[in-house]
Structure 1
Amino acid sequence: MASATSTVVSPYCLSSSTTRSGSSCSVSPASAFASLTNKKSVSHLRFHERSFTSSLRGRGIGARSRTIPLRERKGVTCSASSTLPSALLFDCDGVLVDTEKDGHRVSFNDTFAERELGVVWDVDLYGELLKIGGGKERMTAYFNRTVWPEKAPKSEGERKEFIASLHKRKTELFMALIEKKLLPLRPGVAKLIDQALTNGVKVAVCSTSNEKAVSAIVSCLLGPDRAEKIDIFAGDVVPRKKPDPAIYQLAATTLGVEPSSCIVVEDSAIGLAAAKGAGMKCIITKSGYTADEDFLNADAVFNCIGDPPEECFDLAFCGSLLEKQYVS
């Protein structure tokens, strides 16, 4: 095996790969903006949309850097490792379930339609919005950088309540999708959680999403027996959301473990930044919206966790990361 100072190219799972969807809604952002104002030209509104996208990238959290080539190999397991992490910390959306495109985005759009706001987030636009952690923060940033709906209040305080009410309804619609089990767990998630729980490794889910939505995913898709053993840190449990490390720092403190003994499983650049900011090892399992993001600082990068016979990694591999440094 490589020494602790060796540099090893991240393992890359070829099976069960995901690709960024190129589909879109039937209503473009520009036409949605036009129906919202009825006063501005489509070209002017497209300028708003381009400016919004540019402003996200200018903040450094939405830039899509070139992908670092990875050595292509089948899944890697390290069953001989004797070291185990103290805790496995999972992001929720995109890690447990690939929820964003057909779950959260759809629920946001259904909420906007119910309130007759004239707003539609298409697939590509929502991909840019995901660079902002948190649904309430996402809507606020979008409206601030484009235009607030005519039905929105004018004062900042009332707008905060308006956003909260939209997010509450969006969460209800999203939970209905989860309860109907229309969105499945990603391959290998249940397997890795079972390995951790069987071996006394603490498990938690750390997400910027609403706590009720995260709890619904854990309970409905992982089942009540697993759910009662999994801690959840979500939503507004911390004042600053990813890429800020606060949620992972809170998880380590609450679970009583050292950050350096934790393994985080994330799917996005902002999640990676949060994990690294907390001093933790981080494995990336790419999701539909994040395949092209820059994961240079990740300790390992895969397309998925994977179930046998197409398993990409296991609990022992997670433990091996605490002994050696894997970099892209």
Structure 2
Amino acid sequence: MIQTVIFDMDGVIVDTEPVHHYAYNQHFKQLNIEVTPEMYASFTGNSTKNIFERLKVQFNLSEEVNTLVETKRELFNEAFDQKEDLYLLDGVEDLIKELHSKDMQLVLASSSATVTIHRIFNRFGLHPYFSHIVSGEDFPKSKPHPAIFQHAAFLAQTPVENCIVIEDSTNGILAAKAAGIFCIGYESFHSKMQDYSKADMVIQHFNELSFDRIKTIKVNS
């Protein structure tokens, strides 16, 4: 039986991608580099640190990775605070509240920095529903490496066969599967150039999920 649901954040709980896209592109202009849409799409599910490690090599950037990360974070925070039309994705709040009311453990495992996660959780009042928050900045390798989901299951004290992951990115789905966890792919209209073929189940709206449906998911352990 499923005991723990592990949520990704960006693109699953809230669509902060336009804010990230704006911040990254402002930064790319400052750095005078051109990142193709294909390269940008490949970043989905990666931590900002890992992204700038790649870009530093690709474009021979002189700035230190930590400096690049901090600059992008400042651009994101400024844009995030100014953006009033930012909402939780349709149906996800109802699902989170229903699962929590039925004593399903919820864990957040996001590639975003801890400070960004708390910024979003504070804005939408999400802290009471999640037992643990795991940030990708705490791991040397980003998704598709499974470490973030393995650690989420460890913190939840739940065997991986009693967990599920909800993800919207190719890298996130691959990370969940590499961790041995049943993965629900959330393919919304916000999704761009992502592959859901490795997901165990694919949904287009959160009204397709409920406590009753999730608890009866059969996982091959």
TM-score interval for Structure 1 and Structure 2 normalised by the shorter chain: 0.7 to 0.9
Preserved CA contact (<8 Å) 1:134 1:209? yes
Aligned to 1:118: 32
Aligned to 2:182: 281
Which runs of structure 2 are paired with 1:178-189 in the superposition (5 Å)? 178-179=80-81, 180-189=83-92
Residue 170 in 1 paired to residue 72 in 2? yes
Aligned to 1:232: 133
Preserved CA contact (<8 Å) 1:127 1:289? no
Preserved CA contact (<8 Å) 2:43 2:51? yes
Aligned to 2:52: 139
Aligned mates of 2:79, 2:31 — CA distance in 1: 22
Identity %: 28
| Distance apart, 1:237 and its partner CA | 1.9
Aligned mates of 1:203, 1:134 — CA distance in 2: 21
Equivalent pairs, count: 219
Aligned mates of 1:133, 1:273 — CA distance in 2: 12
SS at match of 1:228: helix
Aligned mates of 1:304, 1:121 — CA distance in 2: 31
Quick check: 282-291 or 237-246, which moved more?
282-291
CA shift digits 1:20-58 (9 cap, x unpaired): xxxxxxxxxxxxxxxxxxxxxxxxxxxxxxxxxxxxxxx
Matched letter for residue 22 of structure 2: V
Aligned to 1:315: 211
Which runs of structure 2 are paired with 1:176-325 in the superposition (5 Å)? 176-179=78-81, 180-221=83-124, 223=125, 226-230=126-130, 231-288=132-189, 290=191, 292-305=193-206, 311-322=207-218
| Distance apart, 1:324 and its partner CA | 8.2
Aligned mates of 2:4, 2:213 — CA distance in 1: 14
Unaligned runs of at least 5 residues, structure 1: 1-82, 153-158, 306-310
CA shift digits 1:209-259 (9 cap, x unpaired): 1111122122212x1xx3134221003222222111111111111121111
Matched letter for residue 10 of structure 2: D
Matched letter for residue 41 of structure 2: G
Closer, same or farther: CA 108–187 of 1 in aligned 2, 3 Å? same
Aligned mates of 2:76, 2:179 — CA distance in 1: 30
RMSD of aligned residue pairs (Cα, Å):
2.4
Residue 105 in 1 paired to residue 105 in 2? no
TM-score (norm 2): 0.87
Quick check: 272-281 or 314-323, which moved more?
314-323
Aligned mates of 2:183, 2:148 — CA distance in 1: 14
SS at match of 2:57: helix
| Distance apart, 1:320 and its partner CA | 2.2
Unaligned runs of at least 5 residues, structure 2: none
Which runs of structure 2 are paired with 1:65-76 in the superposition (5 Å)? none
Matched letter for residue 9 of structure 2: C
Closer, same or farther: CA 136–323 of 1 in aligned 2, 3 Å? closer
Q: Radius of gyration: which is bigger?
A: 1
Aligned mates of 2:37, 2:86 — CA distance in 1: 17
Matched letter for residue 212 of structure 2: A
Closer, same or farther: CA 107–291 of 1 in aligned 2, 3 Å? closer
Closer, same or farther: CA 170–182 of 1 in aligned 2, 3 Å? farther
Preserved CA contact (<8 Å) 1:96 1:189? yes
| Distance apart, 1:276 and its partner CA | 1.3
Which runs of structure 2 are paired with 1:34-49 in the superposition (5 Å)? none
Closer, same or farther: CA 245–128 of 1 in aligned 2, 3 Å? closer
TM-score (norm 1): 0.60
The structure with the largest helix share of the pair is 2
